[in-house]
């Protein structure tokens, strides 16, 4: 049956820059977080528990702080709990535990956490932030992020490779939004003019998500057409092979009946 699956996420096809960043960043955080992950294992904590607690922390940071405009502290809390996504995978590797369920749980709760973050922004702009346009942009970021993830998952579920990452994926959405939110939160500490970063970031994420969605839809359409063309070509070749056999069979049949 092969070795147990220990990855709690889905393999991607990153670009060279992303691959290098992913390689060195993961190597660094693996060294830093491995002792902590080992400590949790010794204490009997499961990777799934870490995943659930991490998601709960992100939700709390987003929906408690962001709607009140406390972007700095909300981002601090979210960032601390975001590392749980690395800790649970590290624990799974150390335990050698098959994690198809863990991969599913990770992917599902990632969508919940993303919704909480952009939902927190939307609540702020719908309330004390008093900006309906940015509230709508935040909601669009929330919805488009979910659909971008769905297009890849749905394409793969019908047997297509969906060989494109797109301009703005989940990592980019979170980094752009959280960095801008954290810096914008410094406005409360007296840093002037810095609060404009969050609106700019939301517009960037919205446009980037739309472009990514279009890229993935176009890719799925192209791959689907190619797959259907290959299937039709295969069926045509099979029919031609059967037809080629009929003339050689016909004389034999006539001789047998004469």
Q: Which of 110, 131, 195, 249 is an active site residue?
A: 110
| Residue 51 annotated in ligand binding | yes
| Residue 88 annotated in ligand binding | yes
Coil/strand/helix, residue 245: helix
Residue-wise over 138-150: b if at least 16 C-beta within 10 A, else e? bbbbbebbeebbe
Angle, CA of 221, 222 and 228, to the nearest 5°: 90
| Residue 110 annotated in ligand binding | yes
Active site residue 114: no
Cβ-contact 140, 206 below 8 angstroms: yes
| Residue 130 annotated in ligand binding | no
| Residue 114 annotated in ligand binding | no
Q: With 0-12 CB in 10 A as exposed, 13-18 as middle and 19+ as buried, what is 121?
A: buried
Residues in the chain: 258
| Residue 221 annotated in ligand binding | no
| Residue 106 annotated in ligand binding | yes
User: Among residues 152, 175, 153, which one has the least CA distance to residue 165?
Assistant: 152
| Residue 49 annotated in ligand binding | yes
From the annotation, which residues make up the binding site for Mg(2+)?
85, 88, 106, 110
By annotation, the residues acting in catalysis are 110
List residues forming the annotated binding site: 48-51, 85, 88-89, 93, 99, 106, 110
Annotated binding-site ranges for a CDP-1,2-diacyl-sn-glycerol: 48-51, 89, 93, 99
């Amino acid at each position: 049956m092969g070795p147990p699956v220990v990855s709690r996420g889905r393999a991607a096809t990153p670009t060279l820059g992303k691959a290098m960043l992913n390689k060195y960043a993961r190597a660094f955080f693996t060294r830093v977080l491995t002792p902590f992950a080992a400590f949790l294992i010794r204490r009997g904590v499961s990777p799934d528990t870490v995943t659930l607690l991490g998601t709960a922390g992100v939700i709390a940071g987003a929906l408690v702080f962001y709607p009140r405009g406390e972007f700095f502290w909300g981002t601090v809390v979210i960032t601390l709990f975001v590392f749980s996504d690395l800790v649970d995978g590290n624990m799974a590797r150390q335990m050698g535990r098959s994690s198809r369920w863990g991969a599913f749980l990770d992917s599902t709760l990632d969508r919940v956490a993303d919704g909480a973050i952009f939902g927190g922004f939307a609540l702020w702009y719908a309330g004390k932030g008093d900006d309906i346009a940015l509230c709508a942009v935040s909601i669009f970021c929330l919805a488009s992020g979910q659909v971008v993830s769905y297009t890849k998952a749905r394409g793969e579920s019908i047997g297509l490779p969906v060989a494109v990452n797109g301009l703005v994926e989940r990592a980019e959405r979170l980094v752009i939004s959280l960095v801008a939110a954290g810096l914008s939160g410094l406005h409360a500490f007296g840093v002037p003019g810095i609060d404009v970063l969050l609106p700019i970031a939301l517009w960037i994420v919205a446009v980037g998500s739309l472009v990514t969605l279009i890229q993935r839809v176009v890719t799925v359409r192209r791959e689907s057409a190619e797959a259907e063309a290959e299937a039709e070509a295969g069926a045509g070749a099979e029919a031609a092979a059967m037809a080629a056999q009929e003339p050689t069979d016909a004389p034999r049949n006539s001789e047998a009946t004469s």
